[in-house]
């Protein structure tokens, strides 16, 4: 692949995909000690960057009216392929893991695709998709391991450099590696001094394990970031990543959840877990070389299932100390609940859930355990609440 391929992809996509905005965040800049910008691919058509690669590849194909394209995806590539196939007037069949959020399934069908659910993870769905594509003489549109796909994703890198020529570091969410490969290649061809890092979830660190080597397959993966939950990166993508990326960073699910809350509260951006990985790396304080830099966090997608987002928010609130969960042992007599509630109210803790447990085997016959969830303003406030309970002679069990 040559840089001309990226520019040609940009011409094909012009007028169809959005040139997404890049926004300075004063809040995240202050938190990181540098200047933090957000490249908002969550505002892209179909809700993620994936439409770029899918549209670039499908636009180059010699398609007939009865041609059927096949693909596999955890959701975002599916929508990109469905959109691109519909524009070309051909049918599409998309294979998705059983764990795919309902919102992504519905959106993919809305773009005209036939959706089939199979397997526990992306890699399982891919195996079935390739098999049935061959049996039906279809055309397979890979989610990341193809140069036309990589070239389409690389147009994001060109936009970043064009809109923010002073950029020093770009953080790219990475699963199979198509976006990271394309952005790293494009950026290094134009501005080799700019650092490009991939960011993965701790529970799906296949590229991190493969970096500097041939692709490695993980035995299992587990993360809330379904968009980057891939057991094995591509051969082609790893070749580009090893050559052009400056490194791979990892973040925990708690850090991703916390970043999502920060994006909602401070930037007013709705971002799916995979898309928040880059900002999570900036805010986690484990990567001091990011501090003080002009950094672009690529928000790769915004297709989060509204029925799942409350779980992500709750996890983020707990990890940031804004929600505390604990249990206290009480005497099983009238007035006990009122007494503990008085301590919580006096110390400004907002109770959002309570549950009695009278059947715990470790309890005396005259005791009960009260499981409590409270909202507090932060870690220090939570610590004051716990100390007040201890001062009132309550035995606390941290959950």
Instruction: List, by residue number, the catalytic residues.
Output: 50, 300
On whether the CB atoms of residues 79 and 105 are closer than 8 A, the answer is no
Reading across the β-sheet that carries 350-357, which strands appear in turn?
A: 350-357, 367-375, 323-331, 395-398
CA angle 186, 241, 2 (to 5 degrees): 35
Dihedral angle at the C-alpha atoms of 236, 241, 242, 247, nearest 10 degrees? -160
CA distance 72 to 142: 7
On whether the CB atoms of residues 118 and 128 are closer than 8 A, the answer is yes
Coil, helix or strand at residue 392: coil
On whether the CB atoms of residues 141 and 70 are closer than 8 A, the answer is yes
CA distance 185 to 29: 27
Residue among 326, 325, 334, 399 nearest 366 (CA): 334
CA distance 167 to 296: 7
CA distance 238 to 253: 24
CA distance 39 to 20: 7
Structure tokens at 186: 């494009």
């Amino acid at each position: 692949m040559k840089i001309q391929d990226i520019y040609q992809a940009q011409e094909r996509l012009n007028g169809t995909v959005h040139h997404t905005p890049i926004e300075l965040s004063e809040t995240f800049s202050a938190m990181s000690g540098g200047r933090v910008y957000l490249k908002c691919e969550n505002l892209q058509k179909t809700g993620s960057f994936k439409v770029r690669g899918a549209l670039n590849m499908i636009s180059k194909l010699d398609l007939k009216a009865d041609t059927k394209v096949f693909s596999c995806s955890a959701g975002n590539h599916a929508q990109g392929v469905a959109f691109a196939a519909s524009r070309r007037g051909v049918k599409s069949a998309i294979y998705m893991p059983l764990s795919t959020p309902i919102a992504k399934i519905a959106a993919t069908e809305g773009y005209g695709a036939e959706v089939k659910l199979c397997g526990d993870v992306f890699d399982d769905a891919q195996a079935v998709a390739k098999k049935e594509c061959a049996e039906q003489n279809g055309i397979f549109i890979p989610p990341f391991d193809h140069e036309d796909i990589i070239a389409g994703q690389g147009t994001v890198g060109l936009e970043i450099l064009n809109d923010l020529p002073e950029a020093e570091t770009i953080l790219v969410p990475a699963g199979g590696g198509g976006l990271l490969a394309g952005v790293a290649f494009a950026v290094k061809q134009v501005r080799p001094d700019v650092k490009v890092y991939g960011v993965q979830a701790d529970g799906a660190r296949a590229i991190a394990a493969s970096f500097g080597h041939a692709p490695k397959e993980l035995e299992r993966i587990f993360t809330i970031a379904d968009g980057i939950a891939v057991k094995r990166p591509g051969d082609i993508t790893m070749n580009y990543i090893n050559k052009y990326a400056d490194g791979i960073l990892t973040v925990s699910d708690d850090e991703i959840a916390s970043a999502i809350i920060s994006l909602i509260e401070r930037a007013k951006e709705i971002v799916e877990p995979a898309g928040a990985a880059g900002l999570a790396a900036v805010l986690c304080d484990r990567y001091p070389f990011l501090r003080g830099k002009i950094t672009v966090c690529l928000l790769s997608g915004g297709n989060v299932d509204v029925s799942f987002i409350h779980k992500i928010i709750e996890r983020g609130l707990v990890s940031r100390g804004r929600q505390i969960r604990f249990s206290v042992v009480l005497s099983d007599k009238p007035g006990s609940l009122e007494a503990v509630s008085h301590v919580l109210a006096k110390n400004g803790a907002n109770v959002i859930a309570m549950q009695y447990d009278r059947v715990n085997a470790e309890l005396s016959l005259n005791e009960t355990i009260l499981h409590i969830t409270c909202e507090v303003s932060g870690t220090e406030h939570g610590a004051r609440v716990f100390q007040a309970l201890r001062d009132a002679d309550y035995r606390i069990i941290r959950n």
